[in-house]
Amino acid sequence: MKIALLNVKYSPNLGDGLLSECLERELGHALPGAKVFSIDLAGRTAYPGLGPSRRGQAIAVLEALPLWLRQRLARLVLATLVRLRLRRHARSALEGCSAAVLGGGNLLTDADLNFPMKIAGALAEVRAKGIPLAVHAVGASRNWSPAGRRLFAGALRSVRLTTAAVRDERSRLAWDSQLEPAGLPPAGLVGDPGLLASLHFARGPLPEDAPRAGLCITAPMALRYHSDDAHGDDDLDEWYAMAARTLVQQGYAVALFTNGSPEDRAYLARLGPQWIRAAKGPVTITNPFANPAELTAFISGCAMIVAHRMHACIAAHSFAIPTIGLAWDIKLDSFFELAGRADFIAATADLPEPRLRELIRRAGDEGVDLAALERLIASTRADVSTMGRRLMAAAAAASPPRTSLPEPLPA
């Protein structure tokens, strides 16, 4: 039995690979004998190398364009990509599959129609195969364009949808408000698969000298482009320097790292030496990670993580490592609320040195509520198991596929 996960496993942001690998392994555990694998919605087949990338330049160009021109250009490029390459990629990978899962990750978002068009193309191939689909642990934004809403709704109506579940309450409200009126069922709530990192990845070694704090660096460009509600990204250059210095003063050896996105790596390479000089203490730049296992080994060897990136925080929490979240997108606030750590997230604009120092001290002193974490991990495992059973029951029933197709998007 083969089950395909539709996601962005091989994204340069290794957080996407981390949650994809966790879902692959956990679903395989829940359904012994099943072959569970991922189909990257962007057509990638391996984790990207660590060489130069034009991704940051592309984002900068899109940012500079007028909104109407940016959307028109993106639509034309994506339509060609989906038609000529991505649907063929999905069609080939789905061969022999009994079922498919859309999830997890922040997939139900609409930045220049990127995910609406890619998901509509992939689900057209799922429908053509006549196999059931589960939507599991996805993030959903609330600001879809009319075209994006038509694409998402049409694609999901066209398949045999067995279950629909999102990863937080705000995503549930976004799903229900935008998809229920189109005839889709309300979404349930499940845990993010990244919470299972400590079950599926080995813990990395602890430093032998001072406890290590991982300071995750995210480029301001990424915060502006990918967020619904970007905030707190002003003066990040100075804020990161202050944060490294404050962590050093609190007794930590600081490691500057990224989740892997090229724009983040370029930002760290450019300003990291300046931050090290300003910190006047043990601060290093961590080598880029090649895959989620390397990222997780590093995070799990830290005593504290400070990050904008959601899955740096989720992986750390899975290993019971205190985290301080840097607010920039509602999805991160939602996770900290779910984890019972709402007191430990704030925008950088609201974290001057005195408040950051106090938050670091509190996070280190209080640690993580282990009983609550165990319950969260157990419920997340149960969510995957329940989804898997329902999906297999639908596959066994072999109901005929629906005949409706997603409404085509005009060029």
Q: What CATH number is given to the structural domain containing 359?
A: 3.40.50.2000
Q: What is the mean pLDDT of the chain?
A: 91
Q: Examine residue 34 and state whether it is found in any structural domain, yes or no.
A: yes
81: pLDDT strictly greater than 60: yes
Q: In this structure, are residues 20 and 103 in contact, taking their beta carbons and an 8 Å threshold?
A: no
Task: Say whether both 20 and 166 belong to one domain.
Answer: yes
State the Cα–Cα distance between residues 228 and 268, nearest whole angstrom. 24
State the Cα–Cα distance between residues 168 and 7, nearest whole angstrom. 18
Distances (CA, A) of 298 to 5, 40, 282, 315: 26, 25, 17, 10
260: pLDDT strictly greater than 70: yes
Task: Say whether both 130 and 161 belong to one domain.
Answer: yes
Of 55-69, 111-125, 186-200, 335-349, the poorest mean pLDDT is in 55-69
Q: Examine residue 135 and state whether it is found in any structural domain, yes or no.
A: yes
Q: Examine residue 199 and state whether it is found in any structural domain, yes or no.
A: no
Per-residue model confidence as pLDDT tens digits over 361-384:
999 999 999 999 999 999 999 999
pLDDT at position 111: 83
Task: Say whether both 348 and 237 belong to one domain.
Answer: yes
Q: In this structure, are residues 311 and 104 in contact, taking their beta carbons and an 8 Å threshold?
A: no
Q: Examine residue 27 and state whether it is found in any structural domain, yes or no.
A: yes
Task: Say whether both 281 and 242 belong to one domain.
Answer: yes
406: pLDDT strictly greater than 60: no
Task: Say whether both 26 and 163 belong to one domain.
Answer: yes
Q: Examine residue 31 and state whether it is found in any structural domain, yes or no.
A: yes
State the Cα–Cα distance between residues 105 and 84, nearest whole angstrom. 25
Q: Examine residue 408 and state whether it is found in any structural domain, yes or no.
A: no
Q: In this structure, are residues 288 and 307 in contact, taking their beta carbons and an 8 Å threshold?
A: no
Highest mean pLDDT pick, 82-86, 152-156, 262-266: 152-156
Residue 67: which CATH number? 3.40.50
60: pLDDT strictly greater than 80: no
336: pLDDT strictly greater than 80: yes
Task: Say whether both 177 and 211 belong to one domain.
Answer: no
Task: Say whether both 78 and 138 belong to one domain.
Answer: yes
Q: In this structure, are residues 79 and 112 in contact, taking their beta carbons and an 8 Å threshold?
A: no
Task: Say whether both 279 and 351 belong to one domain.
Answer: yes
Task: Say whether both 162 and 210 belong to one domain.
Answer: no
- Please give the residue that has the higher pLDDT: either 161 or 49: 161
Distances (CA, A) of 299 to 37, 136, 202, 291: 25, 25, 11, 13
pLDDT at position 411: 37
- Up-side HSE of residue 148: CA atoms within 13 Å toward CB? 20
Q: In this structure, are residues 215 and 254 in contact, taking their beta carbons and an 8 Å threshold?
A: yes
pLDDT at position 404: 47
Task: Say whether both 37 and 67 belong to one domain.
Answer: yes
Per-residue model confidence as pLDDT tens digits over 171-190:
999 999 999 999 999 999 99
Per-residue model confidence as pLDDT tens digits over 140-166:
999 899 999 999 999 999 999 999 999
Task: Say whether both 279 and 340 belong to one domain.
Answer: yes
* Longest alpha-carbon distance in the chain: 67
The residue segments making up the domain with residue 112 are 2-193+378-397
| pTM, entire model | 0.90
- Residues of the chain with pLDDT > 70, as a percent, come to 89
Task: Say whether both 175 and 283 belong to one domain.
Answer: no
- Please give the residue that has the higher pLDDT: either 359 or 223: 359
Q: Examine residue 404 and state whether it is found in any structural domain, yes or no.
A: no
Number of domains in the chain: 2
H or E stretch at 221: helix 220-226
Q: Examine residue 273 and state whether it is found in any structural domain, yes or no.
A: yes
